[in-house]
Amino acid sequence: MATSSVFRPGLFNQKVAIVTGGGTGIGKAISEELLELGCNVVISSRKADRLEAAAQQMTQKIPPSSPASVTPLPCNIRNEDEVKALVSSVLKKYGRIDFLVNNGGGQFTSPTEHMSLKGWKAVVDTNLNGTFNCCKEVYSAWMKEHGGVIINIIADMWKGFPGMAHTGAARAGVDNLTKSLAIEWATSGVRVNAVAPGTIFSKTAMENYKDLGPHLFRRSVPSTPAKRPGVPEEVSSAVCFLLSPAASYISGATLKVDAGQSLYHSMWEIPDHSAWPEAPEGENLDALKELLNPQSKL
């Protein structure tokens, strides 16, 4: 059974939100919670058929008494013209845009040495440039004059992102973009914040990582203070808080939703090696060698 929002019913009645990547995983949970709170939600992603199916499923859950609605609008966020068309369609249909949730993105796992420039560029293009495109267009076409709230979904890349360096670099860029926009757009009454989820388990995330999925999620458990991955509903509640008037004095912030994971171990294993340059010679190095010597009596 779907979890129910802790927020007040009707909190987002008459509001209009765009949620990119709104049909799957974290984006789906965000869209569903917004709908539950009475919002009109435009879900957007590249794959029209999947988006349509998600919208139909979500529509069925909206009670007849609710003013909420869900509209699927396909858009490749990498493409500026498609983003312009998306924003203009939303304004034509609903006449306003209160919230933009930049959740659309994607990556693949690969050691950096095996990443092609094409693969690198594709990930940066979606996650960083796509977010830029959506922020800029929604601001110019609506929020500049009317205010609004933008939430950028980033990642746990605070210790670097070994194995997914492309998305780490892109999301760190989005984190910084969040701060720049929070300042630049304050004069329009636009709040801009980021949410940085830790390891979040969803059926779509499992599918995306293919055979690696079960391994990745199981392996995350020991390095997670909570001793379990999070679920999308635990991210959507943070997003709804930041969109709500309860966060009216919060802008330029990044809220980690990771149960402290980013303060704890890295999940990246470094095998034993002897490739590191030796420390400068001297009595400290001698003492260190003695300490590390398996035969040491220390």
| Shortest distance, position 10 Cβ to ligand ADE, whole Å | 29
Asked if 65 and 40 touch (Cβ cutoff 8 Å), the reply is no
Residue 72 binds ligand ADE (CB under 6 A): no
Strand partners, 42: 18, 71
| Shortest distance, position 23 Cβ to ligand ADE, whole Å | 9
| Shortest distance, position 119 Cβ to ligand ADE, whole Å | 13
Q: Which of 40, 69, 71, 126 binds ligand ADE (CB under 6 A)?
A: 126
Residue 104 binds ligand ADE (CB under 6 A): yes
How many residues does the structure list for the chain? 298
Closest-CA residue to 36 (of 55, 58, 52): 58
Tokens 């034509």: give the residue. 92
Residue in the shown chain whose Cβ atom is closest to ligand ADE: 104
Binding mask 223-262 for ligand ADE (x = CB under 6 A): ----------------------------------------
Amino acid, single-letter form, for residue 62 = I
Closest-CA residue to 168 (of 267, 89, 82, 34): 267
Whichever of 20 and 251 has its CB closer to ligand ADE, that residue is 20
Please tell me whether residue 48 adopts helix, strand or coil conformation.
Answer: helix
Burial of 137 (0-12, 13-18, 19+ CB in 10 A): buried
Whichever of 21 and 229 has its CB closer to ligand ADE, that residue is 21
Measured distance CA(147)–CA(187) in Å, rounded: 9
Number of C-alpha atoms within 13 angstroms, CB side, residue 94? 24
Residue 50 binds ligand ADE (CB under 6 A): no
| Shortest distance, position 114 Cβ to ligand ADE, whole Å | 21
Residue 45 binds ligand ADE (CB under 6 A): yes
Tokens 């009596």: give the residue. 297
Chain-centre distance of CA 104, in angstroms? 8
Residue 21 binds ligand ADE (CB under 6 A): yes
Residue 20 binds ligand ADE (CB under 6 A): yes
Q: Which of 37, 58, 68, 77 binds ligand ADE (CB under 6 A)?
A: 77
Residue 105 binds ligand ADE (CB under 6 A): yes
Number of C-alpha atoms within 13 angstroms, CB side, residue 28? 23
Applying CB under 6 A, the span of 34-42, 76-84, 86-94, 174-182 interacting with ligand ADE comes to 76-84
Which residues sit at the interface with ligand ADE, rule CB under 6 A?
20-21, 45-46, 75-78, 104-106, 126, 130
